[in-house]
Amino acid sequence: MADETVTPSVASAEPLVTREFAGIVVPCVGLLIALVLPQLPIGRLAASATSRLGLGPLGRGAIAIPFAITAILLVYILLVERRSVSSIGLRLPTWKSLTFGIAVAVILVVGAVVTIFVVFPALHRRTSQAAIDNLLSTPWWFRLLRATGAAVFEEVCFRGYTIERVQELTGRKWIALVVSVAAFTNSHVSYFGWAYLIFVGFGGVVLGLYYIWRRDLASNMVAHFLTDGALALWIARWAS
């Protein structure tokens, strides 16, 4: 009897990209968007270009950049990952979102006051006066617009997406927190100088731990907005 050869069916062939492989690559690409794009000098380049066109404070601040990066990441989550935004803790806020957000903002503002008026003098450090003067030269509504952009953009990128995806990839909450705090802190190096990073690092830890506890990104945004608003409208004036 002649030997029979068995030809493997097409259905049994291994797919070019396995589900397990895609489960690693897809979030890694998302992390590049969330962690690398904010570190690039896109905002400074856009600000420089638009200032030359005489667009005033809006040009100097390149205010659209944070919103654009946020939109790119959200589209990536929805269309490429095929997941809902609830996968990064973003859902309709409740009264608890507002209440807890205000409480966390109080902690952060107190931390900012202690850092600026107690820690900095003890260490013979201070924030960049040029940066403070530049901030105070803009109208109040523009400062609130910047605070809104920072609250949405930084919480989506550095808290919701980074913490969720890094934890999924590593299985460790502490690794996700460390990556989140490191990226968040590094993104602020060019704003108010190295001394300011003391408070930024403190804020990154508080907001990171709060997100891991509540998984409520809207509440994180409330806390972040109220803190940045207080810093931009009042504390920066006192520190100048």
At 58, the pLDDT band (50, 70, 90 cuts) reads very low
Tokens of 70: 């946020």
Q: Rounded to two decimals, what is the model's pTM?
A: 0.83
User: Could you tell me which residue, 129 or 198, shows the higher pLDDT?
Assistant: 198
CB 88 within 8 A of CB 164: yes
Mean pLDDT of 45-61: 48
Count of CB atoms situated within 10 Å of the CB of 118? 10
Which residue from 63, 143, 155 is spatially nearest to 108, judged by alpha carbons? 155
Query: Of residues 195 and 109, which shows the higher confidence score?
Result: 109
In contact, 120 and 186? CB cutoff 8 Å: no
- Do the Cβ atoms of 116 and 182 come closer than 8 Å? no
Whether 78 contacts 85, CB under 8 Å: yes
pLDDT at position 61 over 70? no
Both tokens of residue 64? 């659209």
Per-residue pLDDT of 89-139, as tens digits, reads 999 999 999 999 999 999 999 999 898 889 888 888 776 667 677 777 778
